[in-house]
Each structure stands twice: as C-alpha cells, then as structure tokens.
Structure 1
Amino acid sequence: MSAAPAGHRALPTPGTVRWGDLDEVEPISRAFGGDRGTPVDRYYIKAFLDQFSADIKGHVAEIGDNAYTRRFGADKVTRSDIIDAPGSSNPHATLRVDLQAEDSLAGCGFDCLIVTQTLHMIYDLRGALGTIHRSLAPGGTVLATVPGITSIDAYDGPEKWFWAMTQSAARRLFAEQFEASNVQVFQYGNVLAATAFLQGLAFEELDPAKLDIVDPLYPVITGIRAVKALVV
C-alpha cells in the first residue's frame, strides 16, 4: 500500500461531472459487491492477513469459519478452532460463546486469534476486547479488521450493526487492553475504493494499483495487530 499523492487535482467546473451509472439512489449491489465478484474490503483484509501471516501459527481461532487460518496458516497451525455465537447453527463451530461475556474464552491460550469484520456487530466493544485479550497465550496475537466507510449489511440489518471505526479509535481501544507499544494499526482505502465499496462494485472491476493507494481521509477498513505481553 502507498500513500495518496500530495496536492489536489484540478476541480471540474460545477455541472460537468458525469455521474453515469452512479446517478441513482439505489446502489449497484446491496451485497457489498459479493454478487459481482470479490468485495473490495475482502481485498484489503487479505492484504492485511498476508502481511502478518507469520503470526498465524500454533493454536489459532477464527470467527465464523477457518478459511483465513487455512489460507495463511498452512502447515504452521497445530490446532484450529472456529468461534461462533451461542445458538448459532454453524455446524463447524467448535466454540459457541458471547465475546461480551468476561470468562467466555478464559484459559484458551490461543497463539493467534483472527477477528475479521466482527467487532462492529458487538455492542459492548470494550468487554469483547477484554475477552480477546484474556483468550490469548502470553505473546499471542490478535489480527482484527473493522469497517470504516461502509454500507450496512442488508442481511443482518441495522439492528445488528453498531460501529464503524477510525484508526485512531482502534489504536486507543486496543491499547486499553494491550500495551500501547504492542498495538499496530493500518488503514486501507481511498475515495475511489470507498465509492466503489458503497456502490457494491467488485474488486475485479477496479485497478488494484489505485486500490493500493491509502488516503487517511477515506478509510474503508482498519487492520489491527495486537500482541499480548509475555508477562501480564
């Protein structure tokens, strides 16, 4: 990922911008572009996890499924758990817990916990981060992503979607549980990526070189890597 270039392009004269297919109040897709190809946020999530794939090793847990564990952990993973909510019908879940419950994962001793695009659907975010911290072995790592500029999931609806998060908010929230020096945050996205994601365009319809430019004023997702201290 590279930073957005300095300066501004020449502003078009008012009334000359051509909206084309975007001149509608209905988005092109209400499925984040998943019905057209790969959602833009998934491209960024994979880039983040690929950057820190060395952390995905030993006893690894992931929310919902273990696709990223298998893709990025490969033969480094000795045990794979799948976490889902209590009452979930997910047949592959090995742990059914409420991350807001203080002792729900106590003593698990995960070497790595993958929490992608999940925390925004948890109202007690601080409670969940405390649970995540307690679930890790000393020296264990959480790799998390959270949405920034986004539509709300049409399937889950607005009642299950609580938060969007900037990188500064993510840094401060994780630093409440982890030592600040052990928290890294990474922003992904720019105005093109945000516009495309809101409209439901797919990654395959865009130029990856343009998606890789980071503009801090237009965050699509934030990636967080936090490591539990060896001595707590």
Structure 2
Amino acid sequence: MISKIALNVLKGINRKFNTTNWKDLRHTQPISDMFGYDRGDQSVHRYYIDEFVRECADKISGTALEVADRMYLARHAERLSESHVIHYNEDRGTNSFIGDLTRKETLPAEKFDCFVCTQTYNFIYDFKAAIEGSHFLLKPGGYLVATVSGIQQISTFDASRWGDYWRFTGESAKRMFGDVFGSENVQVVTYGNVLAAIASLEGLSSSEITKSELAFRDPSYELIIGILAHKLK
C-alpha cells in the first residue's frame, strides 16, 4: 500500500506537471476526472459538505446514524452515545445494518436522534420515498443533516453500482424535504460560485483555490445544497 507521504508527493507532481491555466478553458477533457482526489486531499464539493456538517454539529448527538461509514460522525460529533452505519448492500460490522431508504420494512422505526446523510439522494431513483424513509428512522425531535449535489459531474463509480440519477437546487430541496418534514422544519443552505463550479468540473482539489474564493456564495451556481430537517412528531 502506498504511504501517505508518497501519495502527497504524487499529488504534488500531478499538480505541477498538469497545472491549471485559468485563461484557457477551451478544452473538452477535464484536467482530472477523479473529483480532484488525485491532486489534493479534498474535492471542492467535499469541502462544502464538511463545512455544512460542521455548522450542524450541535444537532448531532445521542444515537446517530451515517451512510456507508462514520466519517462525519467521527469528525464533527462530540456528544454521541452510539454511532451506527447504514449501507445499501454491505454489512459494515458493529452497529451497522443493510437497509434501503425507499423500503421502510428494512429500517428501524424511530431509533435515531440524528441521521447524517451526505450525497445519497442523488443516487436513489425514488428519492421522495428515501426522504420518507429518513424521516421514519428518526425519533421525534431528531434531526436529518443531509447534502445533495447541484452542479457536479456524473459519478461513474456510483452510476455503475446503483445509479446516478439527480441534481438538485436549493429551491427543490426546500420543497421536497418540506413535503415530508414540514416546510417550517427545514433549513436549506447552498454553497458555490462560478469559480468553484469551474474548479469542481475541471476536477481540481479544494486546495487549488483560496478559502475566500470558496467562501463566496452565488445562488446562481449551487454546487452543494445542505439540508437540516427537524422531525417534530
């Protein structure tokens, strides 16, 4: 297995010999088709996802659930009594289960105080049923911390396994989660601007543009939509 030091060296070499010419965008192939992971530690869209989950950290407590692994729970949750993992078709070990968000019979009812569900609804054809399943998992008073993609390339990895179906907007997210949780119980935050969108589509890493450039938000260029939904009953 390649060491972390060697991997960082390779990323640096890749950035050096495949540099970005911001004045020349006339090409049909992206600089990288790997979401920038071959050029840095974090993609542009993951930078925004991490920011949103961090902003919602005070809502992540008690018995919590995350999709596929515990990455964001481990990074941002400080008040957990238990952490669990749901996966579509793989057993991920202790405190994990195989479940389909579109089929309530595969889900435990009202078990979790918080559900961190990042970049999942894009890959579920019946995303409305998946939102209902997410509501079903939560205890009364629980929170859903979710993200979906706006402007983003197709993920061939996911498309070949379970499909890559949808891209959303802040407005559509507000309505579709509001239909299930009640519009007054849903907060939506959008991230992105034209530079961040170009960088993301070109496959650059977040380290190749500045934090101030990433921080600027233009609602006409939504890369990531963050949703905080509160289940009252």
Q: How far 1:123 moved relative to its partner? A: 0.5
- 1:47 counterpart = 2:51: yes
Asked if structure 2 preserves the Cα contact closer than 8 Å seen for 1:104 and 1:131, the reply is no
Asked if structure 1 preserves the Cα contact closer than 8 Å seen for 2:123 and 2:165, the reply is yes
Asked if structure 1 preserves the Cα contact closer than 8 Å seen for 2:73 and 2:83, the reply is yes
Q: How far 1:24 moved relative to its partner? A: 1.9
- Of the structure 1 ranges 99-108 and 110-119, higher mean CA displacement relative to structure 2 is found in 99-108
* 1:26 aligned residue: 29
- 1:167 counterpart = 2:170: yes
* 1:154 aligned residue: 156
Aligned length: 211
* 1:105 aligned residue: 107
Asked if structure 1 preserves the Cα contact closer than 8 Å seen for 2:66 and 2:73, the reply is yes
Q: Distance in 2 between matches of 1:164 and 1:93?
A: 31
Q: How far 1:23 moved relative to its partner? A: 2.8
Report sequence identity in percent.
38
Q: How far 1:115 moved relative to its partner? A: 0.4
Q: Distance in 2 between matches of 1:226 and 1:177?
A: 9
Select the structure with the greater relative contact order (CA < 8 A; seq sep ≥ 6): 1
Q: How far 1:92 moved relative to its partner? A: 6.3
Asked if structure 1 preserves the Cα contact closer than 8 Å seen for 2:63 and 2:113, the reply is yes
Q: Distance in 2 between matches of 1:97 and 1:72?
A: 24
Q: Distance in 1 between matches of 2:135 and 2:52?
A: 20
Q: Distance in 1 between matches of 2:87 and 2:94?
A: 9
**Unaligned runs of at least 5 residues, structure 1:** 1-17
Q: Distance in 2 between matches of 1:196 and 1:51?
A: 23
Q: Please give the TM-score of this superposition, normalised by the length of structure 1.
A: 0.86
- 1:191 counterpart = 2:194: yes
SS at structure 2 position matched to 1:155: helix
Q: Distance in 2 between matches of 1:103 and 1:154?
A: 29
* 2:206 aligned residue: 203
Q: Distance in 2 between matches of 1:67 and 1:47?
A: 13
SS at structure 1 position matched to 2:156: coil
Structure with higher helix content: 2
The one-letter amino acid paired with 2:185 is N
Q: Distance in 1 between matches of 2:183 and 2:88?
A: 29
Question: CA 1:123–1:93 in structure 2 vs 1: closer, same or farther (change >3 Å)?
Answer: farther
User: Which of the residues 68, 82, 98 maps onto 1:79?
Assistant: 82
Q: How far 1:106 moved relative to its partner? A: 3.5
* 1:11 aligned residue: none
CA offsets per residue over residues 11-48 of structure 1, 9 Å max, x none?
xxxxxxx743x332111111111111110011111111
Matches within 5 A, 1:130-149: 130-149=132-151
